[in-house]
Amino acid sequence: MKFDRRPWACLILLFSSGVYAAETCSYHSYRWNTKTRQAEDLVNISKPYSELKPEEIDSASGCSVCIEDQQLIKIGEMPPVYVCKILADEFTWILTSAIAEGLPIRQLDAYRVGRTRGDVDAEGRRSQFSNHSFGIAIDINSASNGLYENCNEYGEQCVLRRGGEWKPDVNPESISADSLLVELMKESGFKWGGEIAGQQKDFMHFSVSGY
Protein backbone atom coordinates (compact mmCIF):
# COMPACT_ATOMS: atom_id res chain seq x y z
CA MET A 1 0.00 0.00 0.00
CA LYS A 2 1.42 3.35 -0.99
CA PHE A 3 1.71 6.18 1.52
CA ASP A 4 0.18 9.55 0.79
CA ARG A 5 2.58 12.35 -0.10
CA ARG A 6 4.52 13.52 2.99
CA PRO A 7 2.59 11.18 5.35
CA TRP A 8 5.03 12.08 8.10
CA ALA A 9 4.16 15.78 7.97
CA CYS A 10 1.22 15.36 10.34
CA LEU A 11 3.58 13.93 13.00
CA ILE A 12 5.97 16.89 13.02
CA LEU A 13 3.98 18.99 15.49
CA LEU A 14 3.68 16.12 17.96
CA PHE A 15 7.34 15.21 17.60
CA SER A 16 8.72 18.74 17.93
CA SER A 17 6.41 19.54 20.87
CA GLY A 18 8.05 16.79 22.89
CA VAL A 19 5.37 14.10 22.75
CA TYR A 20 7.97 11.57 21.59
CA ALA A 21 10.92 13.09 23.45
CA ALA A 22 13.09 11.00 25.73
CA GLU A 23 14.34 12.39 29.03
CA THR A 24 17.98 12.19 27.94
CA CYS A 25 19.62 13.17 24.67
CA SER A 26 22.89 11.52 23.63
CA TYR A 27 24.96 11.62 20.46
CA HIS A 28 28.50 11.60 19.04
CA SER A 29 29.59 14.50 16.83
CA TYR A 30 32.52 16.15 15.06
CA ARG A 31 33.45 19.21 12.99
CA TRP A 32 34.62 18.94 9.39
CA ASN A 33 37.75 20.92 8.61
CA THR A 34 37.66 22.25 5.05
CA LYS A 35 41.41 22.92 5.05
CA THR A 36 42.69 19.57 6.28
CA ARG A 37 39.65 17.67 4.92
CA GLN A 38 39.44 15.73 8.16
CA ALA A 39 37.00 15.28 11.04
CA GLU A 40 38.06 17.16 14.17
CA ASP A 41 36.75 17.98 17.67
CA LEU A 42 35.14 14.58 18.25
CA VAL A 43 32.75 14.81 21.21
CA ASN A 44 30.29 12.60 23.10
CA ILE A 45 27.21 14.48 24.32
CA SER A 46 24.74 13.41 26.99
CA LYS A 47 22.32 15.87 28.57
CA PRO A 48 18.67 16.37 29.48
CA TYR A 49 16.44 16.58 26.43
CA SER A 50 15.05 19.84 27.83
CA GLU A 51 18.48 21.45 27.35
CA LEU A 52 18.62 20.97 23.58
CA LYS A 53 19.55 24.11 21.67
CA PRO A 54 17.62 25.22 18.55
CA GLU A 55 20.59 24.19 16.36
CA GLU A 56 20.22 20.60 17.63
CA ILE A 57 16.66 20.30 16.26
CA ASP A 58 15.72 20.47 12.58
CA SER A 59 13.05 23.17 12.33
CA ALA A 60 11.40 21.68 9.24
CA SER A 61 10.84 18.17 10.59
CA GLY A 62 11.21 18.39 14.36
CA CYS A 63 13.83 15.64 14.30
CA SER A 64 16.82 16.14 16.61
CA VAL A 65 20.44 15.00 16.70
CA CYS A 66 19.65 12.66 19.61
CA ILE A 67 20.03 8.91 19.07
CA GLU A 68 16.88 8.57 21.18
CA ASP A 69 14.91 10.18 18.33
CA GLN A 70 16.22 7.69 15.76
CA GLN A 71 14.91 4.29 14.69
CA LEU A 72 16.72 1.40 13.02
CA ILE A 73 15.41 0.27 9.64
CA LYS A 74 16.47 -2.95 7.93
CA ILE A 75 16.32 -3.10 4.13
CA GLY A 76 17.06 -6.39 2.39
CA GLU A 77 20.41 -7.93 3.28
CA MET A 78 22.08 -4.59 4.03
CA PRO A 79 23.15 -3.61 7.55
CA PRO A 80 20.42 -1.66 9.39
CA VAL A 81 20.69 2.13 9.53
CA TYR A 82 19.21 4.75 11.83
CA VAL A 83 16.77 7.38 10.55
CA CYS A 84 14.48 9.81 12.36
CA LYS A 85 11.51 7.92 13.85
CA ILE A 86 8.85 9.90 12.00
CA LEU A 87 10.48 9.10 8.64
CA ALA A 88 11.29 5.44 9.28
CA ASP A 89 8.15 3.93 7.73
CA GLU A 90 8.37 6.15 4.66
CA PHE A 91 12.03 5.45 3.96
CA THR A 92 11.36 1.74 4.44
CA TRP A 93 8.44 1.73 2.01
CA ILE A 94 10.29 3.70 -0.68
CA LEU A 95 13.42 1.56 -0.56
CA THR A 96 11.63 -1.80 -0.45
CA SER A 97 9.32 -0.69 -3.27
CA ALA A 98 12.28 0.33 -5.42
CA ILE A 99 14.07 -2.97 -4.78
CA ALA A 100 10.89 -4.89 -5.59
CA GLU A 101 10.83 -3.14 -8.97
CA GLY A 102 14.36 -4.34 -9.70
CA LEU A 103 16.45 -1.33 -8.70
CA PRO A 104 19.83 -2.50 -7.37
CA ILE A 105 20.29 -0.92 -3.95
CA ARG A 106 23.50 -2.18 -2.35
CA GLN A 107 24.53 0.47 0.19
CA LEU A 108 22.75 2.73 2.68
CA ASP A 109 24.05 5.42 5.01
CA ALA A 110 21.80 7.68 7.06
CA TYR A 111 22.05 9.10 10.61
CA ARG A 112 25.47 10.43 11.55
CA VAL A 113 25.97 13.60 13.55
CA GLY A 114 28.53 16.13 12.36
CA ARG A 115 28.99 19.82 11.67
CA THR A 116 29.69 19.65 7.94
CA ARG A 117 27.73 22.67 6.70
CA GLY A 118 27.60 26.42 7.20
CA ASP A 119 30.26 29.07 7.70
CA VAL A 120 33.82 28.14 8.62
CA ASP A 121 35.93 29.55 11.45
CA ALA A 122 39.50 30.83 11.13
CA GLU A 123 40.82 27.26 11.23
CA GLY A 124 38.43 26.11 8.50
CA ARG A 125 35.98 24.18 10.68
CA ARG A 126 32.32 24.02 9.71
CA SER A 127 29.67 25.40 12.07
CA GLN A 128 26.30 23.75 11.28
CA PHE A 129 24.88 20.25 11.59
CA SER A 130 24.22 18.33 8.38
CA ASN A 131 20.82 16.86 7.52
CA HIS A 132 22.29 13.43 8.29
CA SER A 133 22.72 14.68 11.86
CA PHE A 134 18.95 14.73 12.33
CA GLY A 135 18.27 11.41 10.59
CA ILE A 136 16.37 13.15 7.77
CA ALA A 137 18.84 12.29 5.00
CA ILE A 138 19.86 9.01 3.42
CA ASP A 139 22.71 8.12 1.04
CA ILE A 140 22.14 5.30 -1.46
CA ASN A 141 24.78 3.35 -3.40
CA SER A 142 27.57 5.77 -2.52
CA ALA A 143 30.13 3.69 -4.47
CA SER A 144 28.30 4.58 -7.70
CA ASN A 145 26.88 8.02 -6.85
CA GLY A 146 29.60 10.43 -5.82
CA LEU A 147 29.58 13.87 -4.22
CA TYR A 148 31.06 16.37 -6.70
CA GLU A 149 32.28 19.94 -6.29
CA ASN A 150 32.77 22.66 -8.94
CA CYS A 151 29.65 21.19 -10.47
CA ASN A 152 26.89 23.67 -11.26
CA GLU A 153 26.08 21.27 -14.09
CA TYR A 154 27.55 17.80 -14.36
CA GLY A 155 30.52 17.64 -16.72
CA GLU A 156 34.25 17.11 -16.96
CA GLN A 157 34.90 20.11 -14.70
CA CYS A 158 33.21 18.39 -11.74
CA VAL A 159 35.60 17.18 -9.02
CA LEU A 160 34.74 13.95 -7.20
CA ARG A 161 35.14 14.46 -3.45
CA ARG A 162 33.43 11.43 -1.91
CA GLY A 163 31.99 8.15 -3.11
CA GLY A 164 32.39 6.62 -6.56
CA GLU A 165 31.93 7.92 -10.09
CA TRP A 166 28.41 8.66 -11.25
CA LYS A 167 27.77 6.87 -14.56
CA PRO A 168 24.01 6.38 -14.99
CA ASP A 169 24.37 5.51 -18.69
CA VAL A 170 26.42 2.39 -17.97
CA ASN A 171 26.00 1.60 -14.27
CA PRO A 172 22.53 0.52 -13.06
CA GLU A 173 23.55 1.34 -9.47
CA SER A 174 24.01 5.02 -10.42
CA ILE A 175 20.83 7.02 -9.76
CA SER A 176 19.41 8.90 -12.73
CA ALA A 177 16.93 11.77 -12.67
CA ASP A 178 14.23 9.65 -14.31
CA SER A 179 14.64 6.63 -12.03
CA LEU A 180 11.78 5.17 -10.01
CA LEU A 181 13.74 5.86 -6.84
CA VAL A 182 13.88 9.60 -7.52
CA GLU A 183 10.19 9.56 -8.46
CA LEU A 184 9.15 7.84 -5.23
CA MET A 185 11.32 10.10 -3.11
CA LYS A 186 9.88 13.23 -4.68
CA GLU A 187 6.31 11.97 -4.28
CA SER A 188 7.00 11.63 -0.57
CA GLY A 189 8.46 15.12 -0.20
CA PHE A 190 12.18 14.34 -0.36
CA LYS A 191 14.62 16.04 -2.73
CA TRP A 192 17.54 14.52 -4.61
CA GLY A 193 21.07 15.81 -4.14
CA GLY A 194 21.72 15.36 -7.87
CA GLU A 195 19.38 18.29 -8.54
CA ILE A 196 20.45 20.76 -5.87
CA ALA A 197 21.48 24.23 -6.96
CA GLY A 198 25.04 25.44 -6.54
CA GLN A 199 28.57 24.11 -6.79
CA GLN A 200 27.85 20.62 -5.40
CA LYS A 201 26.00 17.65 -6.83
CA ASP A 202 25.45 14.79 -4.38
CA PHE A 203 24.03 11.95 -6.45
CA MET A 204 23.77 9.46 -3.55
CA HIS A 205 21.84 11.84 -1.31
CA PHE A 206 18.15 12.37 -0.50
CA SER A 207 16.71 14.60 2.21
CA VAL A 208 13.84 16.95 3.04
CA SER A 209 15.81 19.91 1.63
CA GLY A 210 18.06 18.06 -0.85
CA TYR A 211 21.22 19.13 1.00
Mean pLDDT to the nearest integer, 102-113: 96
* Contacting residues for 78 by C-beta, under 8 A, at least 6 apart: 105, 106, 107, 108
pLDDT at 43 over 90: yes
Q: Give the model's pLDDT for residue 129.
A: 96
- The domain limits of the chain are 9-207
pLDDT at 2 over 70: no
* Contacting residues for 179 by C-beta, under 8 A, at least 6 apart: 103
Dist. CA 201–CA 177, nearest whole Å: 12
Q: Give the model's pLDDT for residue 22.
A: 67
The whole model's pTM is what? 0.87
3-state class (DSSP) for residue 131: helix
CB 205 within 8 A of CB 193: yes
Per-residue pLDDT of 168-210, as tens digits, reads 999 999 999 999 999 999 999 999 999 999 999 999 999 988 8
How many other CB atoms are there within 10 angstroms of residue 191's CB atom? 18
Q: Dihedral of CA 197/200/205/209: which sign?
A: negative
The confidence band for 21, taking pLDDT boundaries of 50, 70 and 90, is low
Q: Give the model's pLDDT for residue 66.
A: 97
Q: Give the model's pLDDT for residue 25.
A: 95
Q: Give the model's pLDDT for residue 17.
A: 47
CB 7 within 8 A of CB 92: no
Amino acid at 16: S
Lowest-confidence pick of 26-30, 107-111, 207-211: 207-211
Q: Give the model's pLDDT for residue 111.
A: 98
- The mean pLDDT value of the chain amounts to 90
Cβ-based burial of 198 (10 A; exposed 0-12, middle 13-18, buried ≥19):
exposed
